[in-house]
A and B are shown apart, each in its own frame.
Chain A
Amino acid sequence: MVHKRIIFHIDMDSYFATVEQQANPLLRGKPIVVSGKEGSRTVIVASSKEAKRLGVKTAMLHHEARKLCPNLEFVEPDGAKYEYLTKTFLKVFKTFTGKVEVFSIDEAFLDMTGYVTDWDLAIEKASQIKVLLKQELGDWMTCSVGIANNKFLAKLASGLDKPNGLFFVHEKIKQSILDNVKLTAFCGIGRRIEKRLNCLGIKSVPELRAYQPKKLVQEFGPFYGKKLHQMASGIDYEPVIPDFQSAEIKSVGRAYTLPYNTYDKEELFTVLMHLCEKVGRELRRKKLSGKTLVYYFRYSDFTHGGFRLTLPGYIDDNLRLFEIGCAKLQNFHLEKAVRLVGVHVSNLIKDYRQQTLFNPDKKQTDLLPFLDKINDRYGELTVKPAYLLKLKRLRHKVGGFKLQD
């Protein structure tokens, strides 16, 4: 009998690229990447297993990837397809346990405690999930499963036997596994944290474990310092949070990389309006309003600029969001040419209704639910501000993929 928790972490292998190969078998066995059109300024969103073997990685620029792999094929992303398949595999997971936490569009945690009684059964269930996923999604789709007694170790485990793997971290082998992985293999340690750890003389997991927790807290703060120390020992008490108990949304934002660098504010206004339209729609869909607004730019040299302000009241109106950003941007000195524009709203409140008695924007506020209804009924941007008619180059979808409620 097992008294500890039994946690699965299931990660779909090279998800977007594998979905494209599932849809089109002529792409199977070939190095492909999911990205914008070749030559555009987007980065690689996902690479197939074959491309990964040749060193093509996510976030690489097109020319870098092409240099590594001259016969690389580019496939444009299809967010709706990935979203649909994610919903399908989540349905499969939910037939095994009531506690499924969506970690991202291609990975989830399953709390199997109580649903299986020992580790052997857990491994058997994991194998069943792998078979069922193939049946439901397609024969080319594979996933890697990590099994452990906590989320941290399960996530680490799924990355240890990729692709199409199944790795179980037993208490007895936990230490040797931890000692043989790089610090960056830990979920929560990226390049920047690794650099800071290196500066403290910590270059391996045993060194992190041996480091005084007090000093880690001094360097990284009480929460993250303690967490780092626990990671080195494979300790994690975080529960699996099912979507019906999912954490509160902290912010809503959208960003767009322009097809070329520009100083042209008129062009930036148009992009800004589209982004505000998307952010406003998202806020209202989630019944949220926010009062801290951030408008930001990424310049041609990848440095950042922009402005941030906190309003006295909350808003969810895209037009207000745009007007505020527009007024600021008009007087804002662009130091360099802009390559990316972003809008971000935080400091959120649920179900806020503005008092409209003396509100000059009453008409607009009253109109919004009707505009939303039309766009819900006939599709995004069916009714849009006339300003957006200028929009020719911008993609219909901006700001990546996410699961809709």
Chain B
Amino acid sequence: MLIRVEDLSYTYAPGTPLERVALQGVNLEIGPGERVGVLGPTGSGKSTLVQHLAGLLEPTAGQVWLDGVAAHARTAAARARRQRVGLAFQYPEDQIFEQTVFREVAFGPRYLELGAAEITARVRWALEMVGLDSPAMEGRMPLTLSGGEMRRVALAGILAMRPEVLILDEPTAGLDPRGRRELLGRVRAWQEQIGFTLILVSHNLGELARVAERAVVLARGQVVADGSARQVLSDGESLRAAGLDVPQTVALLQALRQAGWEVRTDRLLPEEAVAEIVQAAKLGLAKSVSLRKPEREEARL
């Protein structure tokens, strides 16, 4: 599905004392199968934007097109397209309400008026995708599961709709490091296997660096950067101007560069930064690290 956002503006509570402009003239095009990270400080408009992509909000001005149809329109064509956009809000497990895991995951597909066999097949497939496939699990009460398991059940409910676009708003918030790693690994595997468009909203630059190939930065309701994840996430100046942190790998490489090292600064993952530093040291681009290092070590001893 092709998503086109055209001059999109949105104002909350217009004409009241609580009026607040959330989006101002946003333009964006996201093609099928792209992996896009969306970042920006609180209040920058990220959640407002993704709700427009799912057709949940009607633009104050401008338009969001899903394959050429206005996303929020009250037509059969628009509804069909909205059903192909899966949006997981922050803490999606808060919205779980069914009595069993099976019924919870089946809720969306039932709404699509599929046959019983197809619904069962989709629920089983979705639970397998999130790693919760077992007959015992299907009958469990969601509220007796751990937080991480509940989140996976909530995501299975969205996957069971077989979306062409999957939007995840801070999917790993509140999970511990292992839980975060596991969930992100799954998201990447789903994307590779199914090929849907992935839109990931996150404050965690490390996560974005691992999952997204393209990054869009919002600040004060406007797109202030849009490009390859590597380029956007290593542009310290514009990240800081948008009120965001600079990835620690980038900050380190920038500090080394200032000290005269010939290193690239667009290395976002710790292993990439290490490779860059080791290589620079080897090639003698680092003002003879290897010579000076031992002295310093001795001085410490």
Bound pair: A and B? no
Interface residues of B (CB under 8 A from A): none
Interface residues of A (CB under 8 A from B): none
